[in-house]
């Protein structure tokens, strides 16, 4: 079977799993998303696109946006970024306060909420208008100028964001947040509200699937070394406390979001995005993981 046939087979096989998950409800604006949405899209580094399902419908990418924010900060700061962040899996929930106290305000990695808040703080210091810089970057990577923030989702997240505020103020007490906590939170919530389609998300991760270089334009976003390290962080920490099981079952660097999206890459080969809103107990798309496991099994392609 070619990739298109594989995607069509996977689409039919994973549909029965949809009722087994639950759409995120702790962010009110996400609770109304239809649970039966399902989309899979693959972009190869040679420029071929394969897709099935609702690939053109935008959705809230949530924590997937952390990869974009980290890329922009890492690109400028390089190894200095690790003075305020760790590189290890957390072993705790993505919004845990316990570990932060033990480790004196240094988040375990950039993909848990505390780590992403530190990255937001860095971007506020690096750019006069980081909100526009991030949006421009994502639009360029996806080659889609219509991508935008969803301000209603951002407002909804802020209203339900007491735990994130606690994380930010706690890190501020250790000196690891340097800007106004309110400014950091507003930028973080706005970043998470980015809306993109499965088609755009798959394309936007091609720079990571091609060792830091956008295949279609040859624009170098990161060095080979930096791209390798982001992929390493994705495979160890990209799916929260399910990262180890995901690596075992799927074998791809990936990042998930509570909007139901998962984006993964196979370096030098392809990027793939799956969207299905119902989540499992770890906050990851239940159907997305089933689909990606089948993709690497049926194609025989993974990083292992």
Domain boundaries, the chain: 3-299
**Known catalytic residues?**
63, 66, 188, 240, 258
pLDDT digits (tens, 9 = 90+) for 229-270: 999 999 999 998 999 999 999 999 999 999 999 999 999 999
Position 28 scores a pLDDT of 85
Residue of 32 and 183 predicted with greater confidence: 183
pLDDT digits (tens, 9 = 90+) for 214-234: 999 999 999 999 999 999 999
Position 30 scores a pLDDT of 87
**Res. 94 pLDDT band, cuts 50 70 90:** low
pLDDT digits (tens, 9 = 90+) for 44-88: 999 999 999 999 999 999 999 999 999 999 999 999 999 999 999
Calculate the average pLDDT of the chain: 95
Q: Is the pLDDT of residue 23 over 90?
A: yes
Q: Is the pLDDT of residue 13 over 80?
A: yes
**Res. 138 pLDDT band, cuts 50 70 90:** very high
Closest by Cα among 62, 103, 66 to 85: 103
Q: Is the pLDDT of residue 164 over 70?
A: yes
Determine the topology of domain 3-299 in CATH.
Answer: Beta-lactamase (3.40.710)
Mean pLDDT for the stretch of residues 38-45: 98
**Res. 92 pLDDT band, cuts 50 70 90:** low
């Amino acid at each position: 079977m070619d990739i298109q046939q594989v995607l069509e087979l996977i689409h039919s096989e994973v549909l029965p799993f949809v009722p087994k998950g639950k759409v995120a409800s702790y962010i009110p604006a996400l609770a109304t998303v239809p649970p039966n949405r399902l989309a899979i899209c693959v972009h190869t580094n040679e420029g071929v696109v394969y897709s099935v399902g609702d690939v053109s419908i935008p959705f809230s990418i949530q924590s997937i946006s952390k990869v974009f924010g980290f890329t922009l900060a890492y690109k400028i700061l390089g190894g200095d970024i690790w003075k305020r962040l760790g590189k290890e899996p957390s072993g705790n929930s993505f919004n845990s306060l316990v570990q932060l106290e033990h480790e004196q305000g240094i988040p375990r990695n950039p993909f848990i909420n505390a780590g992403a808040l530190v990255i937001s703080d860095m971007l506020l210091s690096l750019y006069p208008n980081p909100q526009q810089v991030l949006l421009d970057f994502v639009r360029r990577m996806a080659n889609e100028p219509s991508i935008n923030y969803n301000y209603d989702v951002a407002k909804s997240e802020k209203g339900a964001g007491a735990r994130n505020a606690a994380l930010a103020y706690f890190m501020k007490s250790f000196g690891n947040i340097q800007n106004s906590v309110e400014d950091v939170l507003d930028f973080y919530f706005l970043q998470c509200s980015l809306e993109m389609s499965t088609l755009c998300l798959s394309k936007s991760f091609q720079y990571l699937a091609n060792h830091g270089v956008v295949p279609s334009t040859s624009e170098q976003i990161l060095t080979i070394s930096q791209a390798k390290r982001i992929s390493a962080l994705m495979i160890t920490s990209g799916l929260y406390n399910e990262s180890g099981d995901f690596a075992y079952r799927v074998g791809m660097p990936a990042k998930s979001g509570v909007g139901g999206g998962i984006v993964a890459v196979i370096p030098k080969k392809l990027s793939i995005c799956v969207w299905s809103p119902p989540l499992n107990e770890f906050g990851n798309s239940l159907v997305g993981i089933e689909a990606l496991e089948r993709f690497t099994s049926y194609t025989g392609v993974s990083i292992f």
